[in-house]
Structure 1
């Protein structure tokens, strides 16, 4: 049986559904107040949807030994996709994610878990990259020392979250897109569904054993290029305005704003075609995401004009 931690996130729920579709037995560890956190993030994930899909629920606090002991009973594989940075900011990576992962790795080792997969943030390019790189190295060190077969998956930038916030919110509210700085640094974007597919594909793939694998989408784009692509794909006016670093943007949460500014500090133009081919994951293109996420917006916007 597989235990998934972080299953009420959009990524976590996709991992759960992907595993169940492959015939795996899945248990999810859910905190007592997870339904409130999910509701506050405005996502469509519900605990009932996981149960209806076939997942077994165990309630508890992932930070407590008692909860983990119960959740890990008869578990062969652990998958954790906990990521609090998008809700609580970059500092939460160390204060929350690190301590939770530390407890989970230790408990999984003691429970005799064979396989451990986790998601972390790539360190390259982040302004605080030294701290993030150190944490990633410590994750790997702990997993090596645990004796479990491990895979650390490091996704690039999530399309659904970042494009949905930076472009989707102003699109739906009929206001200008505000870009920080010049908006011309290119970044690789990946769909959360593709990341979930990588988790499922790497579960028993020999080339994923005891590896840290960075995964990404098929191309890199600047924010300005993304806005132009949205304009072209759904044929709407979408003005752009530029703001200096440090200028608040109304639709970006205060705790997330420091992460948003990181896009102007570096760029990455990475090629993930070999990774995609190795694990058999067909990447979602930016155009496919735009059509799926914003294709309905044209009718909605035109109907209000």
Structure 2
């Protein structure tokens, strides 16, 4: 049996779909208050619980062979606390995996960066990697490059969210909701992109679907055991090239406003003093702005080969889908006005 932790999220849902397509026996750790309609429809076993609740995590891990862990509270849901989920919560999970005799843990992480210690999310990711390596569990750590689905939307485009299932940016967090409402269609409607970092900053941007495929392919693969793998798209692409691809896809000029790393750092420090969760998200933007992520498909292909979606292919395929529902970026009246 395979347990997916984070199964109601964007990556987790894609992982579950692929596992079901392979006729695997799947269990999903789901909060009682979460929307689990998709998982119910897929016929997976639901283990109601929460990473913050040690007893429920231990119960979910009983009889499990493999755990795929994608849960993140960087963009929080109601009631989320980043440290409680990504620090203490993952400690609960790994302890439960050891107690249950889980054979493999596949953990989704982030690439290394000179500024990775400046954002809480990246600090917790690296801490969890160390926990796994020291645990005695068989592990696969997948350090995924920036997601096209998230970061292309973050520059002011609704195209990456077309057809997205349980999109991270759709979570009811006031900060992302407000940002999406103000900037969600700037690229398409005004030909303006708000880019974190310099024009020549390069990333091996990767699609959520490709990451999900890779996580699933790592399950039970001997060469993926006790390995830390950097996974990205087919090539490293600069932000300038991303903007140029948007111009080709949309058939219009797109002007980029490049937000310097020093500006993002100042915003992170200032906002983070009052709103830690929003400050963490600015820290993630700083993380993306501060250093490149390289594409080296041959290295990961030698372990597990999965198709890689290019930036152009991703944007053209998404652009052909129906317009993103504007209702998704309107503020939810039930959402509070403070950080989680």
Task: Please give the alpha-carbon distance, in whole angstroms, between the structure 1 residues aligned to 2:286 and 2:204.
Answer: 16
| Correspondence 1:177 to 2:193 | yes
Task: Please give the alpha-carbon distance, in whole angstroms, between the structure 2 residues aligned to 1:144 and 1:276.
Answer: 23
Report the equivalent of 2:142.
153
Matched residues, number = 281
Report the equivalent of 2:28.
28
Which of 268, 284, 303 pairs up with 2:293? Answer: 268
After superposing on structure 2, the runs of 4+ consecutive aligned residues of structure 1 that deviate more than 4 Å are 92-95, 129-138
Change (3 A) 1:77 1:236: same
Which of 21, 35, 51 pairs up with 1:62? Answer: 51
**SS of residue paired to 2:211:** helix
| Correspondence 1:115 to 2:104 | yes
CA apart distance, 1:261: 2.8
What TM-score, normalized by structure 2, do the two folds share?
Answer: 0.74
C-alpha root-mean-square deviation of aligned residues, in Å?
2.8
| Correspondence 1:258 to 2:283 | yes
Note the residue ranges of structure 2 that are not aligned, 5 or more in a row. 158-183, 268-276, 326-340
Q: How does 1:220-231 map to 2 (within 5 A)?
A: 220-231=236-247
Which of 234, 257, 267 pairs up with 1:241? Answer: 257
Report the equivalent of 2:4.
4
CA apart distance, 1:130: 10
CA apart distance, 1:56: 1.2
CA apart distance, 1:267: 2.0
Task: Please give the alpha-carbon distance, in whole angstroms, between the structure 1 residues aligned to 2:288 and 2:58.
Answer: 40
Contact map agreement 2:118 2:283 (CA 8 A) in 1: no
**SS of residue paired to 1:240:** strand
Contact map agreement 2:86 2:124 (CA 8 A) in 1: no
Report the equivalent of 1:43.
none
Measured against aligned partners, the alpha-carbon deviations of 1:224-282 in whole angstroms (never above 9, x if no partner) come to 2201111112313323334452497xxxx944223223333222333223313531201
Task: Please give the alpha-carbon distance, in whole angstroms, between the structure 2 residues aligned to 1:83 and 1:125.
Answer: 22
Q: How does 1:195-206 map to 2 (within 5 A)?
A: 195-206=211-222
Contact map agreement 1:123 1:129 (CA 8 A) in 2: no
The structure showing larger relative contact order (alpha-carbon pairs under 8 Å, at least 6 residues apart) is: 2
Task: Please give the alpha-carbon distance, in whole angstroms, between the structure 1 residues aligned to 2:124 and 2:259.
Answer: 32
Task: Please give the alpha-carbon distance, in whole angstroms, between the structure 2 residues aligned to 1:111 and 1:62.
Answer: 16
Report the equivalent of 1:42.
none
What TM-score, normalized by structure 1, do the two folds share?
Answer: 0.82
Q: How does 1:123-142 map to 2 (within 5 A)?
A: 123-128=112-117, 138-142=127-131
Change (3 A) 1:257 1:124: closer
